[in-house]
Amino acid sequence: MVIRICPHCQTRYNIDKNCTDYVHQCNSGKNVLDQEDVVIISTQVEEFGATINTGKLVGDITKQGIGNEIAGTRGAIEGEDVDKETIRGNNSAITRQRQHYEYIKIK
């Protein structure tokens, strides 16, 4: 067994010495590192088949980046009606959180 450190969450994990690649589920205990933000497009299906109904379905994929209609105006600069952000700084109105998996190529 070989002990390595995940480059994303800085936690240790064990792998076999003959392993060529590894997918690590980040579990450092810090939400900033263990979760990631994903743009909401429609109802999501996670890796293990669980359907997540976000309740915030946006039909047009070309307008996913437009979450705040007053961006760049005086109201946005003065802090009026600005959308909330996630702990990673992304717009919470158009993103959701999911577990982060780090792909690690060993050989």
Beta partners for 15? Answer: 2
Q: Could you list the residue range(s) of the whole structural domain that residue 20 is in?
A: 2-105
pTM for the whole structure: 0.57
Which range, of 9-18, 51-60, 65-74, averages the lowest pLDDT? 51-60
Beta partners for 12? Answer: 5
Task: Find out whether 9 and 30 touch, Cβ atoms under 8 Å.
Answer: yes
Structure confidence at residue 17 as a pLDDT band (50, 70, 90): confident
Torsion-angle region of 38 (φ positive above 0: left; ψ -120 to 50: alpha; else: beta): beta
How many structural domains does the chain have? 1
